[in-house]
Amino acid sequence: MADEDDDPNHLTPHCCPFVPSIPRRLGAHLVALELHSPWSSSTLLSIPSKVEASVCVSGLAICIASLVIALSAVAPPLDAHAFVTAPPRKLQSDELATVQLFKLNTPSVVYITNLAARRDAFTLDVLEVPQGSGSGFVWDKEGHVVTNFHVIRGASDLRVTLADQSVYEADVVGFDEDKDVAVLHIDAPRDRLKPIPVGTSSDLLVGQKVYAIGNPFGLDHTLTTGVISGLRREISSAATGRPIQDVIQTDAAINPGNSGGPLLDSSGDLIGINTAIYSPSGASSGVGFSIPVDTVSGIVEQLIKYGRVTRPVLGITFAPEQSVEQLGVSGVLVLDAPPGGPAGKAGLRPTKRDGYGRLVLGDIITSINNQKISNGSDLYRVLDRCKVGDKITVEVLRGEETVKIPITLEPRA
């Protein structure tokens, strides 16, 4: 931080004698008194000290009296109505509801600090340095806290600050990086934990009011309001790039530090986790996104119970979309299908080279259960609707022919 003395725009107060301002005509009056005083400087020098003191006191009294007369002449009379006390502020019903919603839900919102271990270059001591922060909310009385995965990503330690400013070390229970959800645990007294009321997101409507509570830029609990601008949006996970479907779009301001905080409806119920903004500058631009609570609830339950999400996988590695587009076909090109995975067991063919070093393309997935697959996002979207153990029918383009292959989905290893 720059020193205030170095700032040309900073005004530094300096000690100086207090000099009262005297009206022009009052000054003239005092000058006239001085000119007509019977005591000249030579006379004052020759009189005894007691007389001199008496004269000085008399002169001071005359000056004060003249000052009072002058001020009374220029000062306006006091208005009896000038000090009327303003009536108590009256809030509208919608304002009262917003204030009450904030008061009731603020105790459920927490501040999360992401700490990273750094070694001092000179002393070689290992220090914990804050590398990021975000928001979260209390899920239950057992001390589970829900937030975004990207808020805790890369942390060596995590600290959770409750609304009463008590601070606790947090442990990671589990996370789902594909959906940007994480669950932490803090060892806090039950009476200090206020779980947030959980609502639903399947019945949301565009235009209904929403409220976001968080800690933007590290500031203490902040409330922003808006409406639902859109439903069933799709964004990509910041960690894996995997699409997140059915995302809520809102114009409620979501700034850095709001990530992981709750999005509430007008009843104060949780309807989503604030997770992303669309902005060239990184600040709120009126386009924010929240993961719907129906998606979050299922993930949180699995993380608390198992420590991980048992999401089904196909067991393949596929090529970037640009590579497939250059071939002039639509679908997902299989680059690798390990023999121990679901696709490998079912016989999907990976891309490889022949004995002459020429590239032999693998199978190109064009549909799953009769749902068209044009790219990786389509593939993930279909798999997200499936469960571990489900049998699916994968249609692939193999050379010039179309082949249908049944595959049983397995959990991620």
Tens digits of residue pLDDT in 385-402: 898 999 999 999 998 899
| pLDDT score for 86 | 64
Give me the percent of the chain exceeding a pLDDT of 70: 73
Q: Where residue 243 sits, what CATH number does that domain have?
A: 2.40.10.10
| pLDDT score for 347 | 94
Half-sphere exposure in the Cβ direction for 346 (13 Å, CA): 23
Domain that holds residue 292: 209-298
Q: Is residue 39 part of a domain?
A: no
CB 268 within 8 A of CB 278: no
Q: In this structure, are 288 and 379 located in the same domain?
A: no
Mean pLDDT across 398-407: 93
- pLDDT one-digit tens code per residue, 86-124: 677 788 888 899 999 999 999 999 999 998 876 666 665
The pair phi, psi for residue 120, each rounded to 5°, is -65, 130
Q: In this structure, are 316 and 391 located in the same domain?
A: yes
CB 278 within 8 A of CB 290: no
Mean pLDDT across 118-143: 77
CB 366 within 8 A of CB 403: no
Q: In this structure, are 316 and 285 located in the same domain?
A: no
Q: Where residue 372 sits, what CATH number does that domain have?
A: 2.30.42.10
Taking alpha carbons only, the member of 289, 294, 229, 236 closest to residue 260 is 289
Q: Spell 341-374 as b/e; 16+ CB within 10 A means b.
A: bbbbebebbbbeeeeeeeeebbbbbbbbeeeebe
- Is a pLDDT exceeding 70 seen at residue 334? yes
Domain end, chosen from 164, 192, 220, is at 192
User: Which one of 128-137, 145-154, 321-330 scores highest in mean pLDDT?
Assistant: 145-154
Helix, strand or coil, per DSSP, at residue 149: helix
Q: In this structure, are 218 and 165 located in the same domain?
A: no
| pLDDT score for 2 | 46
| pLDDT score for 32 | 36
Half-sphere exposure in the Cβ direction for 39 (13 Å, CA): 14
- Is a pLDDT exceeding 50 seen at residue 6? no
**Number of independent structural domains in the chain:** 3
CB 257 within 8 A of CB 284: no
Taking alpha carbons only, the member of 335, 337, 343 closest to residue 312 is 343
Q: In this structure, are 184 and 218 located in the same domain?
A: no
- pLDDT one-digit tens code per residue, 22-44: 344 434 343 333 334 444 444 43
| pLDDT score for 43 | 40
Q: Is residue 239 part of a domain?
A: yes
Q: Is residue 203 part of a domain?
A: no
Determine if the pTM surpasses 0.85. no
Mean pLDDT across 258-274: 95
User: Which one of 23-32, 240-249, 339-348 scores highest in mean pLDDT?
Assistant: 339-348
Q: Is residue 138 part of a domain?
A: yes
Q: In this structure, are 263 and 326 located in the same domain?
A: no
Q: How does residue 237 score in pLDDT terms, banded at 50, 70 and 90?
A: confident
- Is a pLDDT exceeding 70 seen at residue 206? yes
Q: Is residue 290 part of a domain?
A: yes
Q: How does residue 83 score in pLDDT terms, banded at 50, 70 and 90?
A: low
Mean pLDDT across 304-325: 89
User: In angstroms, what CA-CA distances link 289 with 101, 162, 176, 251, 254?
Assistant: 21, 24, 18, 9, 8
Q: Is residue 380 part of a domain?
A: yes
Q: Which residues are catalytic?
A: 150, 180, 259
Q: Is residue 12 part of a domain?
A: no
Q: In this structure, are 122 and 183 located in the same domain?
A: yes
Q: In this structure, are 284 and 322 located in the same domain?
A: no
| pLDDT score for 285 | 60
| pLDDT score for 35 | 35
Q: In this structure, are 214 and 291 located in the same domain?
A: yes
